[in-house]
């Protein structure tokens, strides 16, 4: 044993003095190891730092200690190697002083070496990569019958998420079926009071139920609001401790008076849990297939798991590499009086991985999962931030958030690259979370990502409604495959969604499939309020509930060489819902150029009668040239404000050189094969350039719409 320890000392702390030929300053390279069972290696009570550290924090303290001791002219680079297991309840905060550091999982050889020191009954589960966790294990479950177990926790945190063997377990929900809702009876009549409650229907609440820890989730249009209960009042009135953004019930068709209740601790159904804060007791109902004492059960308690935040924009943290690690189990919390209701769940102030006042950061091959809010937020004062080849999945809100919301922007966010990641299964707590959202930032690259299974928009760019300065420019959204967006829950969203004037923003070569809202407003590419100066080119958009492309006022956009197919698939699901949309739609047109639209293919699949290929609410100034339109089912396509036939439309002079003809796609449109065109396609005549299939693209329509009721919450 003693000999082993000597070997260990040698690899734990290596300073290599290095001089480059052109430079007399020495760079020190330090390697630190973190192994969370340090007692095996004796004590370092003398402060000699000569054994592997037990915690990542100790390794960061080592860097800080070195920094304070050394000659400032000698740069120091440190690599921290983590043993591949959980580091629970261990949030870490990298500051400027921790610059020039790489954090990674140790290699297999070192893992095997350290593993020899473990006793057979040790609790340190071997993982494929080290997991920095904001959670704690919940243990000591006792059965209370019917597959229900209880355990008490000692943390002060409110337990509102639970993960069993790497799976998210939802809180008890009323109604139980996650695809159904309760409907309240009527909104409150006073518009301010209506933000704090509603008139419920008989049987929906009862003051003898445990309401203190329960949460009411109300569906508006593009948001849900989340409420704690203050009291039940006369005339079936429920009042909340915190308000919604708009009066509950204001968006009649989108909201349909829907709500559900979470964490009401009465007879939990299988695979749900609830928490009573007064007794700190978690109740878990299993499906009988596992023993909680034999399972890995984790409850998040920390909202931020890792942060990289410099002191300010001048003294930023720089040159950090994080690779091959996982960042997991972040908490969410809403203050009992806080308004928890905003587009894109933007009221959240934290993320599992939070970055600000930082530069030259590379995050590669990391996993961020099981979060309560967004996975990553690259916020103000950042430049040259790179996130690539990573997985962001099972998030409470959205996946990746960039930039800040306030204007004018005090500390810019610029040069952010989000490349080749998978961003999936979002909105598990806050459905309005977006796959990838860039608020106000410049020179952002969102390329080659797989973005799927979100309950609101896939990619959102810009945060300025209308024509005021947007602080958003040069955003490249290219080659992303975005599918199964919306999932029939919220309304008013898009596969790709933009806001405001954005010179240099390009949306190119993306594939968008399956965008569906609960009732209305669901578009493939959604150029919302004031979107201007952007180019939309070479995208394929298909299977959208409403139009493939919608511009809700804006100027000078260029729509070129796209395929827009299989639009307006959503049948009006409820009495009183508006009828379906067209293929291309401009709303709220103004007295300037809305867009130019050329070399596009519009493949309409509407059955029977007439359908709008292009709809504009008022007379729009838009220039259509050299497009190909087709419907294979003898449906007459209609164009423009007056909804006239193609021939009459061309006579208006608003469209030249276009054709109605079968584009002759290489695959079967009804099977959602890729939309390349055959060699003899008439698309050549309108100057259409064949598109390239994305390597990540998958064939098939698989909308899951007609087959079975949608099981959206937690049952992906």
Residues that bind ligand NAG (CB under 6 A): 89, 91, 140-143, 155-157, 185-186, 199, 203, 206, 208, 235-236, 293, 301-302, 309, 312-313, 356-357, 380-381, 411, 467, 501, 532-533, 555-556, 590-591, 609-610, 623-625, 634, 636, 638, 643, 645, 653-656, 666, 676-679, 681, 690
CB of 147 to ligand NAG, least distance (A): 10
Residue closer to ligand NAG by CB (options 99, 432) is 99
Instruction: Say if CB 59 and CB 80 are below 8 A apart.
Output: yes
User: Under a CB-based contact definition with an 8 Å cutoff, are residues 72 and 100 in contact?
Assistant: no
Q: Which is nearer to ligand NAG, 15 or 139 (CB)?
A: 139
Nearest approach in angstroms of CB 349 to ligand NAG is 10
Give 91's strand partners. Answer: none
What is the spatial distance between Cα 558 and Cα 503, in angstroms, rounded to a whole number? 12
CB of 691 to ligand NAG, least distance (A): 8
Q: What is d(CA 25, CA 22) in angstroms, rounded to the nearest whole number? A: 9
Nearer to ligand NAG by C-beta: 18 or 633? 633
Residue 621 Cβ vs ligand NAG, minimum distance, rounded to whole Å: 10
Min dist. Cβ of residue 196 to ligand NAG (A): 15
d(CA 343, CA 341): 7
| 528: β partners | none
Q: Is 158 exposed, middle or buried (0-12, 13-18, 19+ CB in 10 A)?
A: middle
In angstroms, give the least distance from the CB of 445 to ligand NAG: 23
Task: Tell me how far apart the alpha carbons of residues 423 and 437 are, in angstroms, rounded to a whole number.
Answer: 12
The distance of Cα 677 from the centroid of its chain, to the nearest Å, equals 33
Q: Looking at beta carbons only, is 199 or 227 nearer to ligand NAG? A: 199
Secondary structure class of 74 (helix, strand, coil): coil
* Cβ closest to ligand NAG, residue 38 vs residue 687: 687
User: In the complex, what is the shortest distance from the CB of residue 251 to ligand NAG, in angstroms, rounded to a whole number?
Assistant: 18
Q: How far is the CB of 650 from ligand NAG (least distance, A)?
A: 9
Q: Between residues 177 and 648, which has the closer beta carbon with respect to ligand NAG? A: 648
* Residue 453 or 552 having the CB closest to ligand NAG: 552
Residue (604 or 655) nearer to ligand NAG, CB: 655
DSSP track, 364-402: ES-EEES-SSEEEEE-SSEEEEEEES-EEES-SS-SEEE
The least distance separating ligand NAG from the CB of residue 583, rounded to whole angstroms, comes to 16
Distance CA 524, CA 70 (A): 56
CA angle at residue 660 from 654 to 662, to 5 degrees? Answer: 145
What is the rounded distance in angstroms from the CA atom of residue 705 to the CA atom of residue 112?
49
Dihedrals phi, psi of 362, to nearest 5 degrees: -120, 125
Give the DSSP letter of residue 407: S
Q: How far is CA 380 from the centre of its chain?
A: 19
Tokens of 279: 């007794």
**Cβ of residue 354: shortest distance to ligand NAG, in angstroms?**
8
Q: Taking the CB of residue 273, how many other CB atoms lie within 10 A of it?
A: 28
Bridge partner residues of 473 (DSSP):
442
Task: Give the residue with the Cβ less far from ligand NAG, 357 or 432.
Answer: 357
CB nearer to ligand NAG: give 245 or 590.
590
| Chain centroid offset of residue 481 CA | 14
* CB of 555 vs ligand NAG, minimal distance in Å: 4
Whether residue 710 contacts residue 687, with contact meaning beta carbons closer than 8 Å, is answered with: no
C-beta of 470 vs 510, nearer to ligand NAG: 470
Note whether 188 and 234 are within 8 A (CB): no
Tokens, residue 388? 């690539």
């Amino acid at each position: 044993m003693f000999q082993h320890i000597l070997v260990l000392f040698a690899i734990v702390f290596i300073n290599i003095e290095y001089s480059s030929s052109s430079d007399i300053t020495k760079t020190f390279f330090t390697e630190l190891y973190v192994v969370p069972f340090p007692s095996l290696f004796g004590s370092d009570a003398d402060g000699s730092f000569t054994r592997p550290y037990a915690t990542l924090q100790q390794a960061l303290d080592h860097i800080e200690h070195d920094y304070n001791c050394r000659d400032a002219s000698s740069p120091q680079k440190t690599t921290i190697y983590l043993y591949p297991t959980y580091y629970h309840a261990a949030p870490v905060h990298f500051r400027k002083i921790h610059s020039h550091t790489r954090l990674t999982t140790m290699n297999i050889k070192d893992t095997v070496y350290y593993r020899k020191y473990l006793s057979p009954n040790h609790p340190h589960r071997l993982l494929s990569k080290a997991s920095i966790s904001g959670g704690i294990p919940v243990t000591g479950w006792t059965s209370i019958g019917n597959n229900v177990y209880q355990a008490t926790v000692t943390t002060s945190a409110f337990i509102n998420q639970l993960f069993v063997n790497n799976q998210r377990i939802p809180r008890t929900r009323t109604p139980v079926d996650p695809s159904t809702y309760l409907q309240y009876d009527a909104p409150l009549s006073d518009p301010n009071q209506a933000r704090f409650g509603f008139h419920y229907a008989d049987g929906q609440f009862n003051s003898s139920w445990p309401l203190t820890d329960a949460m009411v989730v109300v569906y508006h249009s593009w948001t849900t609001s989340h409420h704690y209960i203050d009291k039940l009042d006369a005339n079936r009135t429920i009042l909340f401790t915190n308000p919604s953004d708009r009066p509950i019930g204001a968006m009649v068709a989108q909201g349909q008076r829907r709500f559900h209740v979470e964490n009401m601790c009465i007879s939990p159904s299988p695979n749900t849990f609830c928490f009573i804060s007064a007794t700190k007791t978690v109740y878990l109902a299993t499906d009988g297939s596992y023993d909680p004492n034999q399972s890995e059960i984790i409850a998040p308690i920390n909202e931020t798991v890792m942060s990289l935040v410099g002191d300010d924009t001048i003294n930023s943290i720089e040159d950090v590499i994080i690779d091959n690690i996982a960042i997991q189990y972040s908490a969410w919390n809403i203050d009992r009086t806080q308004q928890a209701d905003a587009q894109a769940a933007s009221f959240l102030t934290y993320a599992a991985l939070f970055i600000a006042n930082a530069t030259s950061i590379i995050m590669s091959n990391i996993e961020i999962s099981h979060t309560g809010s967004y996975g990553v937020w690259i916020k103000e004062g950042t430049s040259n931030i790179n996130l690539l080849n990573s997985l962001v999945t099972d998030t409470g809100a959205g996946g990746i958030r960039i930039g800040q919301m306030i204007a004018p922007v005090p500390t810019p966010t610029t040069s952010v690259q989000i490349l080749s990641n998978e961003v999936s299964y979002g909105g598990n707590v806050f459905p309005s979370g977006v796959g990838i959202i860039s608020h106000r930032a410049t020179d952002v690259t969102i390329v080659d990502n797989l973005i799927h299974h979100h309950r609101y928009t896939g990619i959102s760019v810009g945060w300025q409604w209308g024509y005021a300065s947007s602080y958003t420019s040069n955003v490249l959204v290219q080659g992303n495959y975005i599918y199964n967006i919306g999932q029939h829950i919220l309304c008013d969203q898009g596969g790709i969604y933009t806001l405001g004037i954005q010179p240099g923003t390009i949306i190119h070569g993306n594939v968008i499939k399956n965008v569906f809202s609960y009732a209305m407003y669901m578009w493939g590419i959604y150029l919302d309020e004031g979107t201007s100066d952007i180019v939309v080119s070479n995208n394929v958009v298909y299977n959208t509930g409403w139009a493939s492309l919608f511009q809700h006022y804006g100027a000078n956009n260029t729509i070129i060489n796209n395929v827009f197919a299989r639009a307006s698939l959503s049948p009006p699901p409820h009495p009183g819902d508006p009828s379906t949309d067209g293929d291309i739609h401009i709303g709220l047109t103004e007295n300037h150029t809305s867009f130019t639209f050329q070399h596009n293919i519009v493949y309409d699949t509407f059955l029977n009668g007439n359908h709008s290929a292009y709809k504009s609410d008022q007379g729009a100034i838009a220039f259509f040239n050299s497009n190909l339109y087709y419907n294979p089912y003898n449906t007459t396509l209609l164009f423009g404000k007056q909804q006239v036939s193609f021939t009459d439309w061309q006579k208006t002079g608003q469209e030249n050189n276009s054709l109605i003809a079968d584009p002759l796609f290489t695959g079967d449109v009804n099977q959602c094969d890729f939309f390349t065109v055959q060699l003899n396609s008439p698309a050549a005549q309108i100057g259409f350039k064949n598109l390239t299939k994305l390597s990540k693209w998958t064939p098939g329509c698989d909308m899951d719409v007609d087959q079975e009721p949608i099981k959206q919450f937690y049952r992906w």
